[in-house]
Amino acid sequence: MALHRRLFLKQVSALSAAGVGAEFLSNRLVAAEPQEPLYKISLAEWSLHRALQQGKLDNRDFAKVAKNDFGIEAIEYLNQFFQDKAKDKSYLIELKKRAEDLGVKSLLIVIDGEGRLGDADEQKRTQAVENHYKWVEAAQMLGCHSIRANTFGDGNFGERVDRAADGLRMLTEFAEKHDMNVLVENTLKSRYSSLGGFLTAVVNKVGMKHCGTLPDFAGWGRGEGVDADYRYKGVAGLMPFAKAVSARSDDFDAQGNETHTDYRQMMKIVVDAGYHGYVGIKYEGGELGEPEGIKATKKLLEQVRNELTNM
């Protein structure tokens, strides 16, 4: 029995217990057959960072490559590949048009290099917040729903939470005026930002609906736990706030499974949390070329989706 149908049957049982008629329920059941996939697949631009850095791919052609080479119709930009174009309206209009002409959705922009939102120096923290404003506006122009910011900062755990939450709150207040979300992602670039407990504390302290998370499968520090399930526990902790998901992949075995993350276990955590949005392919491996790694990750995500749908 498909997962969608099982969930609906639980609702039917509750309505039946409340005295709702059988004919009505039968009609509702037919109408409720799912039309949308359990989750959708997008492509993170970092998956093609070597081609972009080597000049083999232009950022303006990212949507075309995603659609034509990989059959993916939703993309996630990285600001470093158009760092000087955040306020260039003609460039952004062209970028948006190229994507829309192909039927490709622009979902978010990952932001790096704009200062530390959790800096101990209040003036530097405020400057970092303001440095992100142009990217909120660029993301809105492109039709995205979010930007991803970092929570880097100084101090002990409590101090870092307070400072990161302060910076993130100020940025989110600006973003919500543009109907944009600000997301934080676990990353090994910072020890604290690789701890799910830290990010959860920051987002909870901000307490705004436009502030959320972007759980990444692999960006977890060992501080999250010492057992083999630390990355699964980390993702599970961030899923209640998730507005996007990053399917990091590196290496694959002969059966097409990612060797560092059990995608079946991980995607069940994602789906069980009630998330049915886009899951972004972020291939970082070196054994396969970038195109091959993207295709391998997409194939695995599709296979797992089919299995979960027909459970």
225 pLDDT above the threshold of 90: no
Which DSSP string corresponds to 154-169?
-SSHHHHHHHHHHHHH
CB atoms within 10 A of CB 93: 12
**From 15-19, 136-140, 161-165, the region with the lowest mean pLDDT:** 15-19
Mean pLDDT across 259-280: 97
Residues 195 and 299 in one domain: yes
Number of domains in the chain: 2
Closest CA to 162 of 107, 114, 125, 109: 125
Question: Are 15 and 94 within one domain?
Answer: no
Specify whether 153 is located in the same domain as 258: yes
25 and 123 inside one domain: no
Residues 43 and 133 in one domain: yes
Mind listing the pLDDT tens digit for each residue in 34-54?
568 999 999 999 999 999 999
81 and 210 in a single domain? The answer is: yes
Please report the pLDDT score of residue 247 as a whole number.
97
Same domain for 219 and 98: yes
> Residue 11: pLDDT above 50?
no
Same domain as 16, residue 122? no
- How many degrees, rounded to 5, is the angle at CA 101 between CA 98 and CA 103? 110
Instruction: Supply the angle between the helices 290-309 and 3-17 in degrees, to the nearest 10.
Output: 30
Q: What is the CATH number of the domain that holds 89?
A: 3.20.20.150
User: Is the per-residue pLDDT at 13 higher than 60?
Assistant: no
Q: Are the C-beta atoms of residues 119 and 167 closer than 8 Å to each other?
A: yes
Residue 201 structure tokens: 């504390």
CB neighbours of residue 238 within 10 Å:
23
Q: For residue 77, what is the DSSP state?
A: E
Better pLDDT: 306 or 224? 306
Reported confidence tier of residue 222, pLDDT bands at 50, 70, 90: low
Same domain, 118 and 258: yes
Kindly state whether residues 5 and 78 are assigned to the same domain: no
State the residue range of the domain holding 151: 38-309
- Do 23 and 64 share a domain, yes or no? no
- Looking only at the bridges linking them, the beta strands covering 181-184 and 146-149 are parallel
Judge if 30 and 177 occupy the same domain: no
Count of alpha carbons within 13 angstroms of residue 101, beta-carbon side: 10
Question: Does residue 310 surpass a pLDDT of 60?
Answer: yes
What type of residue sits at position 5? R
SS3 123: helix
pLDDT band at 227 (very low <50, low <70, confident <90, very high): low
Query: 3-state class of 289 per DSSP?
Result: coil
Could you tell me which of 266, 264, 195 has the C-alpha nearest to residue 236? 266
Query: Coil, strand or helix: which one is 268?
Result: helix
Ranked by mean pLDDT, which of 29-38, 191-200, 202-211, 225-234 comes out on top? 202-211
H/E stretch holding 295 reads helix 290-309
Q: How confident is the model at residue 26 (pLDDT cuts 50, 70, 90)?
A: very low
What SS3 class is residue 118? Answer: strand
Residue 281 has pLDDT above 90, yes or no: yes
Region of poorest pLDDT, from 91-105, 149-163, 191-205: 191-205
225: left (phi over 0), alpha (psi -120 to 50) or beta: left
Name the more confident of 6 and 265: 265
Burial class (CB in 10 A: 0-12, 13-18, 19+), 156: exposed
